[in-house]
């Protein structure tokens, strides 16, 4: 961590503007409805906190946590829910909020799992979309920022549990 080199990728001002735009788009799309917003722990919690406070529609929230089994940064593709949501989503409008779509494995698993529970609608909002490392085809419905590749930290995103509290998003340049 101490000898990590990093550069700002998205400043807090850029993030603020983009989150406001996303919230406006989501509010328009769900006008007159109540949204169930499900955050994926831990990475999405900062983004989700900012997003829901800018929504112009009522929402209720819940959280899920997933584990992906595999060595280090390489995911094996085996995903499991380690903390499930606590509410019933049948016939509800559900929006999953995630930090990053990378290989796409986590979100495609989660969408498949929640779809089986019979929501009225199910969409995904991802803060970042990393396009280069997809292993399964997956497109989020709402995306904050798109980048090709690289390891990013801050604004909820960690590096071995550190750096989540940084208000800006950085790209690590010496990994």
Q: Which of the residues are catalytic?
A: 102
For every residue of 74-85, which 3-state class applies, written as one string? CCCCEEEEEECC
Residue whose CB is less far from ligand 5GP, 30 or 64: 64
151 scored as a contact of ligand 5GP (CB under 6 A): yes
- Determine how β-strand 121-130 pairs with β-strand 6-10: unpaired
145 scored as a contact of ligand 5GP (CB under 6 A): no
| String of contacts with ligand 5GP for each residue 21-60, x by CB under 6 A | ----------------------x-----------------
Residue whose CB is less far from ligand 5GP, 29 or 158: 158
**Helix or strand holding residue 96 (H, E):** strand 93-101
Residue 68's nearest CA partner among 129, 167, 136 is 136
CB of 4 to ligand 5GP, least distance (A): 12
What span, in angstroms and rounded, lies between the C-alpha atoms of 6 and 40?
A: 25
| String of contacts with ligand 5GP for each residue 99-138, x by CB under 6 A | xxxxxxxxx----------------------x--------
**Helix or strand holding residue 54 (H, E):** helix 45-54
């Amino acid at each position: 961590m101490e000898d990590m080199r990093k550069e700002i990728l998205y400043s807090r001002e850029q993030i603020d503007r983009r989150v406001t735009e996303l919230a406006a788009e989501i509010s328009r799309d769900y006008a007159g409805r109540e949204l169930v917003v499900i955050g994926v722990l831990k990475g999405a919690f900062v983004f989700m906190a900012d997003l829901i406070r800018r929504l112009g529609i009522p929402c209720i929230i819940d959280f899920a946590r997933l584990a992906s089994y595999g060595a280090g940064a390489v995911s094996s593709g085996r995903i499991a829910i380690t903390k499930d949501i606590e509410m019933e989503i049948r016939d509800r409008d559900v929006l999953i909020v995630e930090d990053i779509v990378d290989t796409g494995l986590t979100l495609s698993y989660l969408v498949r799992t929640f779809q089986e529970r019979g929501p009225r609608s199910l969409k995904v909002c991802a803060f970042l979309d990393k396009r280069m490392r997809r292993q399964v085809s997956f497109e989020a419905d709402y995306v904050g920022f798109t980048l090709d590749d690289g390891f990013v930290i801050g604004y909820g995103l960690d590096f071995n549990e550190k750096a989540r509290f940084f208000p800006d998003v950085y790209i690590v340049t010496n990994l």
